[in-house]
Amino acid sequence: MHIADGYLDLWIAAGAALLSVLVLAWAARRSAGDLDGPHAPLLGVTAAAIFAAQMLNLPIPGGTSVHFVGGAFAAILLGPHLAALAMTSVFAIQALVFGDGGLLVMGGNVLAMAIVQVYVGYAVYRALAPYHERGAVFAAGWVGISAAALVAAVMLGVSEAFAYELSTVLAIVGGWHVLLGIAEGAITLLAYEFVAEARPDLLAERTPTIDRRRLLRRGAGVVGGLVVLSPLFAWAAGQVGYTEPLEHAASATGATAHAVSTLPALLPDYGLAGVDPYVGTLVSGLVGAALVLVIGWLAGRPLTAQRDPR
C-alpha cells in the first residue's frame, strides 16, 4: 500500500504531512501519560518485529500477495498513541533506507497506515472487546487495514497522476484490501494469541512488569527469526509475479508518477548491488530491523525514565 513519490498532488501530500505531524505531536504528548507510559520500553521491540513481519509477503496465485501491516496489533499491545509513533518509525526507515514509499509522500503513508489504521483499529477493538475479545482483535486488524486503504485510495484517486479516477482507484485499492484485510485480521489475532499466552501482562490494558534486558534478548530472537524467513517469502512472492493492488490501480488508470527528485535510498528495494537478491533481502532485513529497534528504544526511554530506572 506504500504510495510512491509522484503519485500524489503536491497539495495533497503537503496536507497529509501537516495532519500527520499534528496527530503525531498529540500522540507523543499523550504517550507520556500513565496509560501508555509503562509500555514505552516495548515501542522499539514492537516496531522492529512489525518491520520484519512486513517483509514476509504471502503469495496469492493470480499475481498478488499480502503481508502483515500491524497497526491494529501495535495499538492493542501498546495503546494507540505509542503505536502511532512505532508505526511511523517503521515507515520512516522503509522510505529513507529502502525507498519503500516516497519521501515527499511520507505524510500520506503515515496518515493512512500509522494513524488511520492504528486509531480506527483500536476504536474497533475497544468497541467490540466487551462482547468477544478475540473477535474484536480480528475485526480491529480487518477494519483498520481496510480504512487505511480507503484513505490512501482517496488521496490517489483525487490526484492528477491517476487522472482523478476516484471510483476506479477506490474499487481496486479499497476493494482488494477489504479482501486482503481478512488475512490482516487473522495474523493480528495469531499475534495477539501468542502474546496473550506468553506474556498477558504486556497487553495495553494491563500494567506490565518489564525487564529491559530480557525484553531486548527475546525481542531480538523474534525479530531475527522473522528476518531469516524473509528471503524465502520474497522468493515465493516472485513465483506468482507479485504486484500490489496499488500497481493494479496504476495500470487500470494509466497512472504515471510525476518526475520528482529525492535523496537516493541506501538499500533500494531491500537489496544490495551485485549481491544475490535473497542475501540482499536478509541483510536489508537485519539492517532495517536494527535501525527501527534502536530508534524505537531511544524514543521510548524518555517516556519512562522517571518511572522505571532500569
In a domain, 187, yes or no: yes
The confidence band for 42, taking pLDDT boundaries of 50, 70 and 90, is: confident
User: Quick check: 215 pLDDT over 70?
Assistant: no
Got the DSSP string for 117-139? Answer: HHHHHHHHHHHHTTT-HHHHHHH
| Residue 4, all three cell numbers | 510512491
**Model confidence, pTM:** 0.80
In a domain, 1, yes or no: no
In a domain, 308, yes or no: no
Domain enclosing residue 258, as ranges: 10-302
Got the DSSP string for 241-261? Answer: T-B-HHHHHHHHHT--PPP--
Residue with cell 506468553: 198
According to the model, what pLDDT value does residue 170 have? 86
Structure confidence by residue, pLDDT tens digits, 66-87: 677 889 999 998 889 989 999 9
User: Quick check: 46 pLDDT over 50?
Assistant: yes
In a domain, 307, yes or no: no
Is pLDDT larger for residue 282 or for residue 135? 135
> In CATH, what number is assigned to the domain containing residue 56?
1.10.1760.20
Is pLDDT larger for residue 310 or for residue 17? 17
Supply the mean pLDDT for the chain.
77
Is pLDDT larger for residue 72 or for residue 1? 72
According to the model, what pLDDT value does residue 120 have? 97
* Residue 128 near residue 136 (C-beta atoms within 8 A): yes
Q: How far apart are CA 74 and CA 118, in angstroms?
A: 7
The confidence band for 114, taking pLDDT boundaries of 50, 70 and 90, is: very high
In a domain, 255, yes or no: yes
In a domain, 310, yes or no: no
- If one counts the domains in the chain, the total is 1
* Residue 73 near residue 47 (C-beta atoms within 8 A): no
Q: What is the residue type of 238?
A: G
Please tell me whether residue 53 adopts helix, strand or coil conformation. Answer: helix
Residue with cell 496527530: 23
